[in-house]
Structure 1
């Protein structure tokens, strides 16, 4: 496989492309300002499905008039046959709970290898609705569950039953019919682990491809289900939803602290994701020609980003302020590009002086949108082997130099300052969710998660300096014999020194650490939008809003659902009839 370095060299000969510096890119606040882009996993998945024309059809559709029952979709992808199995059950509104500790949900579902016969279906029926309390086998790739939107689901059913379209302005406030509360994969609860999925199933061999696919399937089922219920509720007046309205529905997601440790525990993978995005930006800075057509496209994207941001509804004061600043940034950008500019570098430098971090990163996402020919092939390089290798022969003097060069940000932090080590991360036994603790939970520090990379580097450096003073000619192996508890952080330091970007540069133990930046960074790589923080520790968002529908597969596709906007409804047609509803 061609490496990104080879791609880089092919473009510029012996000269590397102008990647942004590590201390700029890996700043936690900047990572938390990222937006969806062409390289986000939802976009790359949809492109693949549309390009390869996956065949996705219901093989079993057993829903009653209220929408409860069993549905199995069969998916014929280029390299295999898979089944998406979904169980829809009655759930009283008072029992609807989005927390991980919930035991009942409106929908539970699984993505499975191969066809599902009656015996295996019954096995899934006995376990999938239980989620964590059940067990599945390695035929299952992903397990998930979802709850109905209290504000949208019944409203949309009633509108369609009356023969009316749902109010687009209302959808813009809550752009989904269901929201997921967890999407499990990678070996949990007996499922196939990542090594098996990535080596045996090429259709889902990209990071989180199977998980994103389950969310896409849930989104499409939600649209089918509301039409099914509405049609049975009032068959004489029912009319189906207009396709453009359907596409404006996404799937909701509630994400808490459980996602945050991933970015720390998988540094090589996160480095790879960041590097591909930065490489795409560098290609555009060097090779992205600017002509009238590109300028017109860029102006259209500016308007789209402005309206999309304005349509984002949140009660959170902090996020509201961020969104308002992005709107100001887009106004300033509009005035700036009214004057011709000669290069993207020129515009980037301007944005760094005049725009917020979120505004700067929005501009980068727009730039990536303009040049699919320079960006899209990088989607094949989001995987990485995650081994933290120890180099025992490295001289201790060299290890010290690496820390001083690559981890100068950690050495600059005063960990003895007030609040610098006040926060610790742990997993609650009662709630089974990551939590943040403070000094009042001193006893819990014994069970804390090892996420304080900066502090671990500082301790390693201090002990290394003491060791070098006595044994300047020793190797890392000798240092490890003397300080065996430092083996983990030394392996990380040596390995991440080989990466272009490396660790996130932040003190995650600080009293004022904002986990929302970690959540948003990962969600931006996924491709979500409409960030709506519910506290400093969890956020609601929308996935796949504006994406194509299953019925769009095989039709012309231009991959133009970046920052989707509320559609304009078609006028009622005299020829509209119940026959337009999907066959069920």
Structure 2
């Protein structure tokens, strides 16, 4: 049976009925995007499912570290067709030089995900370049480049306790959550590493950011072994290994700032694919006529796990901290109401979803949406393979269309911009630019800072309001081609309009140069699709997150656990 909502032919769909996806004007508002939670479609989850299904094999071909944990190591993953090696370098770093800022030039550890296994000559080349990061020189054999700094307090505590033959303090482990945090994970041809085209056709990297997730997963494995290694060197034969439960609880931290924020604007087709897949998954589940005891049990188990994760969620951000407290209460409410709402009857999952829409905050609604997906892998996991997209930088502009028809197309796709008054100073209080020093995106204050003449075209809502006005003032019978020949500055707006006309989830439907805009909402929206959790804003412009906390290590997959 094919349903209008799911576009799916499958036995699971035969028990469903047509149900519309959530509207883009609901889903793509910045406040809701800033409440996003990871789901089973998130990129690290999709990678782990493939790794488990294909039984990827983990090994350590080289472990050459001194007593202080400085040196080099190779951690290898064998997929059914290829070997990939995380080449790891651990180097001394003075406390004065330890910073998460992008301007740093030295780090505790640095990594490259290598295509194959490097020989001695390649290891020497990498050792000369990888610790230098942006200043190094790389080849297409180098797939991912990254670096990470220790959480010094927790790392030293773990080493000290293990050297004493004891386990770390669970409360301290819980409060920090990681031994290392990455400050950059580069892919897609940066600094001479491999272009995406080199690996895009490989099944293990078929989805977005799968290579990056593999690299971070191996970084996590290295950091745990690094701590155990240093402990063993301090107390040979007496040091303990990390308890498996505590070992799995440790993720990889990440510090992310404005450099990531414009991504959701610059990649409209990809952003549409991500959100369309998630919304399709939610519609498939909501459309189910009934449910089973196993699915209900799976939901309740996921709910219990999320409640525990929220209990461990630490942030002092004045906006996010109250939201976390409210979320804990809302999940308790869901726990009390879900058994009744999922009891026998039609549309149980939709009933639960609508309860959330009426009773929960945006944070709670998005958490519940993620939970509803959890027990339905057989119905939705295929969508994880549809979330990649080849962006078309020359997306074809139909120059033959009349300006009247173009105006109608833009009005339909961007009518949501009517709610903004760009004559108000606060509506255009900021501007996006690229730092000359680091070639990274930055956000300027228009009234107080120079550089607005170098503004990047990221104020889509403002530009579309002006584009609509320009079209309305032109001859409706004129062709778009002639109009753009006279006004080439509108080419970027025309191109976006053609994309948005057929990809409704491609735009963040908000004003990204407003004084009230919080860039961390953009960061969270993207990182949730990666699979990040425990979002900890450190200001409105950067945040820390955790990746892979609670998930298996590579050697655990190899043993089938």
For 1:389 and 1:195, the matched residues in 2 are separated by: 21
Task: Find the counterpart in structure 2 of residue 567 from structure 1.
Answer: none
Task: Work out whether residues 96 and 147 of structure 1, in 8 Å CA contact, stay in contact via their aligned partners in 2.
Answer: yes
Stretches of structure 1 lacking an aligned partner (at least 5 in a row)? 558-584
Shift of 1:298: 2.6
Task: Work out whether residues 112 and 145 of structure 2, in 8 Å CA contact, stay in contact via their aligned partners in 1.
Answer: yes
Task: Find the counterpart in structure 1 of residue 480 from structure 2.
Answer: 476
Task: Work out whether residues 399 and 494 of structure 1, in 8 Å CA contact, stay in contact via their aligned partners in 2.
Answer: no
Task: Work out whether residues 206 and 385 of structure 2, in 8 Å CA contact, stay in contact via their aligned partners in 1.
Answer: no
For 1:381-530, list aligned pairs within 5 A: 381-387=386-392, 388-441=395-448, 443-467=450-474, 471-530=475-534
Shift of 1:431: 4.9
Task: Find the counterpart in structure 1 of residue 188 from structure 2.
Answer: 186
For 1:4-43, list aligned pairs within 5 A: 8-10=7-9, 17-43=19-45
Shift of 1:6: 11
Task: Work out whether residues 288 and 349 of structure 2, in 8 Å CA contact, stay in contact via their aligned partners in 1.
Answer: no
Aligned match of 1:113 in 97, 112, 115? 115
- SS of aligned partner of 1:391: coil
Stretches of structure 2 lacking an aligned partner (at least 5 in a row)? none
Going from structure 1 to structure 2, the CA distance change for 1:115 and 1:291 (only over 3 Å counts) comes to closer
- SS of aligned partner of 2:60: strand
Shift of 1:460: 0.8
What's the C-alpha RMSD, in Å, of the aligned pairs?
Answer: 2.1
Task: Work out whether residues 404 and 411 of structure 1, in 8 Å CA contact, stay in contact via their aligned partners in 2.
Answer: no
Going from structure 1 to structure 2, the CA distance change for 1:534 and 1:442 (only over 3 Å counts) comes to closer
Matched, 1:287 2:292: no
Task: Find the counterpart in structure 2 of residue 364 from structure 1.
Answer: 369
For 2:77 and 2:368, the matched residues in 1 are separated by: 37
For 1:317 and 1:416, the matched residues in 2 are separated by: 30
Q: TM-score, normalised by structure 1?
A: 0.91
Task: Find the counterpart in structure 2 of residue 547 from structure 1.
Answer: 551
Matched, 1:257 2:261: no
Task: Find the counterpart in structure 2 of residue 84 from structure 1.
Answer: 86
Number of positions where the alignment pairs a residue of Structure 1 with one of Structure 2:
551
- SS of aligned partner of 1:58: strand
Shift of 1:237: 2.3
For 2:446 and 2:230, the matched residues in 1 are separated by: 52
Shift of 1:56: 2.1
For 2:8 and 2:165, the matched residues in 1 are separated by: 59
Matched, 1:376 2:381: yes
Task: Work out whether residues 54 and 75 of structure 1, in 8 Å CA contact, stay in contact via their aligned partners in 2.
Answer: yes
Task: Work out whether residues 177 and 222 of structure 1, in 8 Å CA contact, stay in contact via their aligned partners in 2.
Answer: yes
For 2:390 and 2:464, the matched residues in 1 are separated by: 23
Task: Work out whether residues 50 and 204 of structure 2, in 8 Å CA contact, stay in contact via their aligned partners in 1.
Answer: no
Task: Work out whether residues 56 and 73 of structure 1, in 8 Å CA contact, stay in contact via their aligned partners in 2.
Answer: yes
Aligned match of 1:537 in 537, 541, 557? 541
For 1:52 and 1:38, the matched residues in 2 are separated by: 18
Shift of 1:7: 6.7
Going from structure 1 to structure 2, the CA distance change for 1:41 and 1:450 (only over 3 Å counts) comes to same
Task: Find the counterpart in structure 1 of residue 276 from structure 2.
Answer: 275
